[in-house]
Chain A
Amino acid sequence: MPRTHLDVSRRNFLMSTGIIGLAATGLWLPGKAMADTPKKGGNFILGLKGGESTDTLDPALNTGNASSYALFAFGDYLLEQGPDGSLLPSLAESWEASDDNKRWHFKIRQGVEFHNGKPLTASDVAKTLQRHSSEKTKSGALGAMRGIQEIREEGDGVTLVLTTPDADLPYLMLDYHLVIQPDGGMENPANGIGTGPYRLVQEEPGVRYRFEKFDRHWNKDVGHFDSHEIVVINDDTARVAAMQAGQVHAIDKVPPRVAKLVGNAPGVKVSVTESPGHYVFVMHTDTPPFDNQNLRLALKYAINRQEMVDKILNGFGEVGNDTPINQSYLYFDNSLPQRAFSIEKAADYYKKSGHDGSPIVLRVSDAAFTGAVDAAQLFQQTANAAGIPLEVKREPADGYWSEVWNKQPFCASYWGGRPTQDQMWSVGYLSTADWNDTHFRNKDFDALLLQARAETDAAKRTELFGKMARIVWEEGGLINPMFNQFIDGYADTVAGWVSYPGHAMLRGYIAKLTWFA
């Protein structure tokens, strides 16, 4: 009898862009390693989860975790980000906005060469951005690019004209899809040619990517290794074993349950960074019985958040508060009280809801997030104790995101977070949002969002975002028990490691910025 083991439909956890504002909270301290002088040479092997033989190097269609790291190796972006969240020049030497923040101009760096020998021009940049924003594109960046009305070459650079003012536009250029490609990648988008510090020499989707140092890279201060390899190791235990045995120099997504043990192993270091990613259960607020606010509140009070953080994340996370926002976002309103686990309140609200006692089915799969089935069973225990007839139904991992998520009224979900609060609320909670997975429609909320987007005063913005959070906290369909953290492992021979709050693996810049001590 053939025995098969399925590990399919893993979610891509890599966020499209970064978190800003962590420097303000004082969480980031420059690493001592920054002061050391980098050494050149060596073959750097990265072991990553999340690669399949279906992956493509076309930046527009890229969704795999491992393949997105390949983009960072062979490609450059208009801008980069520092560990403190600040914007740094890259292929754009400088950038400036018109007074009304409706026109943005990026000055393109001269003397940059693609791996195929072609020099970088403003036209390559313009075409790249056009490819990702045309109505016909399949690009994952399309959502971010929608506010751009016009992209045109102008003088030594590229000018973007927006439909509405946006002071945060440069942050959109950090989206990992927006690798600058020769001729915009119009002809052959998946050929893996960019201006990055490493040149692609071998591509085996779902298995490995091999690179060699690109000697004519414009920035001599990055890309210290002679060669670089990305190896896909989807199995958690195997990835940790490969790290411990020295087959790879760094791994991502160390399982929380073993993170402490891995950190104790000789020659291995572990880096933990907080994130805006959250493991959640979502209810459709327009579908019975979840259209009943009392029932929603009953379920929200019936979940033991601390137990989830302890048991599902082994402490590598923080409790959620039924909104998608935590303090890693700028303009976070901390006056919202933390909702506490209360069987009495849950039972009260359940009684008030007048639910007929028929089973309330929660559909889950570990495809939603690691430990989702376990988390749902913990939830079931506490809910049943409050008299709520919660039932757990495990769905196939295969096809979970297309068949269950956003289709069934109550299921598990994962959100990786967005670079700004505005974006997070816009993609998931606005009445017209594409991925409004709680079917949340609230006119007051929508009006507040538009108001907040136009607001320039920080205190007022915080207040507006706070009001929105409170509405979702009270009326929304989101049960958010926990925010997860990123756990990376790396060999102690790797120098130059810097923690990028909100990101794993130095925000993907790992092969660029580190070196062998």
Chain B
Amino acid sequence: MSTLLNSAPKSALAGLAVTTLFFGMAVFAQVIAPYGMSDVVGSVWEPASSAHWLGTDNIGRDLFTRMLYGGRTTIFVATAATVLSFVAGSVLGFAAAVAGGWLDQLLSRSVDLVMSVPGLIFALVVLSVLPPSLPVLILVMAFLDSTRVYRLCRSVAGDIVVMDYIEVARLRSEGLGWTIFHEILPNAMSPLVAEFGMRFIFMVLYLSTLSFLGLGIQPPSTDWGAIVKENSDGLVYGIPAALAPAIAIAILAIAINLVADWVLSRTTSLKGGRA
């Protein structure tokens, strides 16, 4: 592990450090937070001070505290949904590409069907049928997102399954699972890792959209996207409260993608010459 870290470029280390810091703050939000999550402790949009490091929000709660708790929700939900979406999307996408035939058609066309229904109509229907709770929220997000991951994996794997080494594996009569994990996955890693970095950002943003539809996080709990929205009125008049969560999202996005870049370079160098 230490040699792995030593070999990492500075940018990756910075990315890793920031990501760890954010995740750490998320986990220990309750310990770090100077105030209660929903306590009103001041007036509207107070500027930053020693009492309120980032000032106060649109109804006078401590913004730093809100950011910590919001970060916890955002990071937890986005991570869980992205991981779920990737596991489901990539396994099914690879399986479809390797197996081909009716399985491929069935999965691909079902995914097309789900994707073809506009997200707004889909979200509203789900909203009316299912009770809004955190697990439902994560599952809905992961489900909708996995269709996108599926399409990408299916198309990346489509280029791989026609390669000779897959043919060889087939001749050796290797199972579907073995082929996916030993042949397809290592060769499809780069686009997947890059996509993971992007999907994570989209999950963070999507969460706030769902909040707005009423499916998202219930007040007084919050997430970064919701903090942006609550405070956006003041933005254009020089009240920067909305920028804090926006910048936090951007920093996390950049950090995660810096790490992704590093993983990307390792996967490409690992399989050198394999194709």
Contacts and interface: CB of A to CB of B under 8 A. Distances in A.
Interface of A: 1-6, 236-237, 240-241, 255, 257-258, 261, 310-312, 314, 365, 373-374, 376-378, 380-381, 392-398
Interface in B211-230: 211-215, 218-220, 230
A1 B145 contact: yes
Nearest to B225: A3
Interface of B: 38-40, 43-44, 58-60, 118-120, 123-124, 127, 144-145, 148, 199, 202-203, 205-206, 209, 211-215, 218-220, 230, 232-234, 236-237
Nearest to B45: A257
A380 B218 CA distance: 13
A374 B56 CA distance: 14
Given A1-B145, A241-B236, A261-B237, A396 B213 contact: yes
Given A1-B202, A392-B220, A396-B127, A381 B40 contact: yes
Nearest to A308: B59
A378 B219 CA distance: 11
**Interface SS majority for chain B:** helix
The winner among A312, A377, A394 for most chain B CB atoms within 10 A is A394
A1 B40 contact: no
Nearest to B222: A377
B40 A3 contact: no
Nearest to B235: A237
A397 B213 CA distance: 7
Contact of A311 (B59, B199, B212, B232): B59
B40 A378 contact: yes
Task: Please list the 9 inter-chain residue pairs (A to B) with the smallest Cβ-Cβ separation, ordered nearest first.
Answer: A396-B214, A1-B202, A2-B119, A261-B237, A374-B59, A257-B233, A392-B219, A381-B40, A311-B59
Contacts of A314: 44
Contacts of A395: 214
A262 to B, nearest CB: 9
A8 to B, nearest CB: 9
Contacts of B218: 392-394
Contact of A258 (B148, B205, B206, B237): B237
B209 A3 contact: yes
B55 to A, nearest CB: 15
Contacts of A381: 38-40
13 contacts: A1-B202, A4-B209, A237-B233, A257-B233, A258-B236, A377-B59, A378-B59, A380-B220, A381-B38, A381-B39, A381-B40, A396-B215, A397-B212
A241 B235 CA distance: 13
A398 B237 contact: no
A269 B209 CA distance: 35
Contacts of B230: 374
A378 B231 CA distance: 16
Contacts of A380: 38, 220
Given A4-B120, A378-B59, A392-B218, A398 B206 contact: no
A5 B205 CA distance: 11
A404 to B, nearest CB: 10
Contact of A377 (B38, B119, B203): B38
Contacts of B214: 365, 394-398
Contacts of A397: 212-214
B144 to A, nearest CB: 8
Given A381-B40, A394-B214, A395-B214, A3 B237 contact: no
Contacts of A6: 120, 209, 212-213
Contacts of B199: 1
Contacts of A378: 40, 59
Given A3-B205, A236-B233, A381-B39, 12 more contacts: A2-B118, A5-B209, A257-B44, A311-B60, A374-B58, A374-B230, A378-B40, A381-B38, A392-B219, A397-B214, A398-B213, A398-B214
